[in-house]
Amino acid sequence: MIDFRTSPEQYKHWKLTFDGNVATLAMDVDEDAGLVPGYQLKLNSYDLSVDIELFDAIQRLRFEHPEIGAVIMTSAKDNIFCAGANIKMLGASSHAHKVNFCKFTNETRNSIEDASDNSHQRYITAVNGPCAGGGYELALATDYIVMADDGNTSVSLPEVPLLAVLPGTGGLTRVVDKRMVRRDRADFFCTIEEGIKGQRAVDWKLIDEVVPKSKLMDHVGAFAAAEAAKSDRPADASGVAMTPINRTIEENTIKYDLVDIEIDRELRCANILVKAPAEACPQDASAIVKAGANFWPFKMARELDDAMLHLRANEAEIGTWVLRTEGSSKNVVSADNALAANADNWFVREVTLYLKRTMKRLDLSARTLMAMIEPASCFTGILLELALTTDRSFMLDGQFEGDNRPAAVLQMTAANFGPYPMSNGLTRLESRFLGEDGKVAELEAEIGTNIDAEQADDLGLVTFIPDDIDWEDEIRMALEERARFSPDALTGMEANLRFVGPETMETKIFARLSAWQNWIFQRPNAVGEKGALSLFGSGQRAELNKGRV
């Protein structure tokens, strides 16, 4: 089982140090500590275990270290920055694992960019040795890249010529969309094995500076200190400890404090229940910070995030996630109000951003998403966002016979109109009603209203509103139908339908780039018996089918 939970004392691949308001995150991969046996992580190459630690470190830098305004990414090894994703690992992995690995590494690099853009925690890369493939993609996620000018150090994206695959962790997109490298130069760069070094790398905008290797770390340290001084992160605040997540796993159940999952293997579906706060959330910033890891929005986001990662990595055949909620709508409103009223507090800002990233991870999961809105459910505010992520939603019209619980209602809050945009830059309501002028403003007028099934249907907030007579049959048929369809076709269909409207760097990475990489990872030219990825390191030349598809 792949476990995404870790902590700094368990790290095997990264060293995290602090100097005032600057942190250094140094890659020091233990080549014998890969996720599974069968390959060595030589030359600071990485597998999922390395990125799990990186993701954890990025989260902790945001929540546990409010004083940190800049982070230096570098290598702790001599004469190598990072050789990228481990080729032996990729060659030995299942298709599903390769794709999940690429998606998680993309999401982790996006979280670096989110920290830079929204948490004012700038990331600077000190490239102190050859930086290839995924290593350069890691550098591309940062704000500023300084490279040693020593005749040996270069940056490269050699996947096309060497492996017959793509630099799938956003490399192609970030080169042209983020660093704005000219297309013809990018084409040349992505088709050479040896990479580009020195002043030419600066001139082509592949990096920002070259300095002599003897001066690299001093130069980067001074630059990072200057960047950190510009940050609004509070130097005198105490961080919030990311205490261990409580989780128990049995054969078909996964339980957290606020998230319960029941797996139906016959229907290939996971029923995911998210619980509202048991009591009203604190409204004062100091009380929120004091609550720390137990502040409901933060705790819920951490548990839901871990649950999604667990299901993605360990339950590949569970193709449908059914989202349910329960609890007090009033208490969810108190949570949304607390976040909105204290938006200028550093911890509240981080929690809001984490909720945004968690909802994006749900959007991006290659699973059918359905919401079941029933009596005692609590699809309010931030929990309503769960329903708005789904491909279909069912809301019971009325009550079940013999059930004295009140009929289900929805309630919108300000949380549904801005703080949690999708990868396309739109809110889920804006995406849902793309092209319907005035519709979102009409909905905003309903903030705070309890919306029953008929009203929800009229407003377009749900897909179907069966009554108690039809409910069970309609749900069963929907789930059975989904279980019959091709998972590949569903993944492609859902990803195309979810991200309407404008294309952004994120949607290009997760839609265009990921879709092509997914396809290429299955092609004989890459993974066939005589494919480039399969034969890498053997001394044999790949036998490529030259037909263009």
Q: Domain segments of the chain: what residues?
A: 8-229, 248-492
Fold of 248-492: 2-enoyl-CoA Hydratase; Chain A, domain 1 (3.90.226)
Q: Collect all residues with Cβ–Cβ distance below 8 Å to 21 and sequence separation of at least 6.
A: 67, 68, 69, 70, 225, 228, 229, 231, 233, 235
Full strand arrangement of the beta sheet holding 392-395: 248-249, 253-255, 259-264, 269-275, 320-326, 368-373, 392-395
DSSP state of 423: T
CA 164, 169, 173, 177 dihedral sign is negative
What are the respective helix, strand and coil percentages of the chain, to the nearest 5?
Answer: 45, 15, 40
Neighbours of 469 (CB within 10 A): 11
d(CA 145, CA 179): 11
Is 50:105 a contact under the CB 8 Å cutoff?
no
In this prediction, residue 549 carries a pLDDT of 80
**pLDDT tens series, the chain, 549 aa:** 999 999 999 999 999 999 999 999 999 999 999 999 999 999 999 999 999 999 999 999 999 999 999 999 999 999 999 999 999 999 999 999 999 999 999 999 999 999 999 999 999 999 999 999 999 999 999 999 999 999 999 999 999 999 999 998 899 999 999 999 999 999 999 999 999 999 999 999 999 999 999 999 999 999 999 999 999 999 999 999 999 999 999 999 999 999 999 999 999 999 999 999 999 999 999 999 999 999 999 999 999 999 999 999 999 999 999 999 999 999 999 999 999 999 999 999 999 999 999 999 999 999 999 999 999 999 999 999 999 999 999 999 999 999 999 999 999 999 999 999 999 999 999 999 999 999 999 999 999 999 999 999 999 999 999 999 999 999 999 999 999 999 999 998 998 899 999 999 999 998 888 888 888 999 999 999 999 999 998 999 999 999 998
In this prediction, residue 511 carries a pLDDT of 82
SS3 readout for 195-262: CEEHHHHHHCCCCCEEECHHHHHHHHHHHHHHHHHCCCCCCCCCCCCCCCCCCEECCCEEECCCEEEE
Residue 30 structure tokens? 């233990």
Residue 183 structure tokens? 């297309």
- For 270-303, give one letter per residue: b (16+ CB within 10 A) or e: bbbbbbbbeebbbeebeebbebbeebbbbbbbbb
Q: Choose among 160, 107, 152, 162: nearest CA to 131.
A: 152
SS3 readout for 147-211: EECCCCCEEECCHHHHHCCCCCCCHHHHHHHHCCCCHHHHHHHCCCCCCEEHHHHHHCCCCCEEE
The enclosing H or E element of 332 equals helix 329-341
In this prediction, residue 376 carries a pLDDT of 94
Domains 8-229 and 248-492 share a fold: yes
Is 370:320 a contact under the CB 8 Å cutoff?
yes
d(CA 15, CA 12): 8
In this prediction, residue 15 carries a pLDDT of 98
Fold of 8-229: 2-enoyl-CoA Hydratase; Chain A, domain 1 (3.90.226)
Q: Across 241-345, where does the E strand assignment appear?
A: 248-249, 253-255, 259-264, 269-275, 320-326
In this prediction, residue 132 carries a pLDDT of 98
Degrees, nearest 5: CA angle 247-356-179:
120
Residue 146 structure tokens? 């300084």
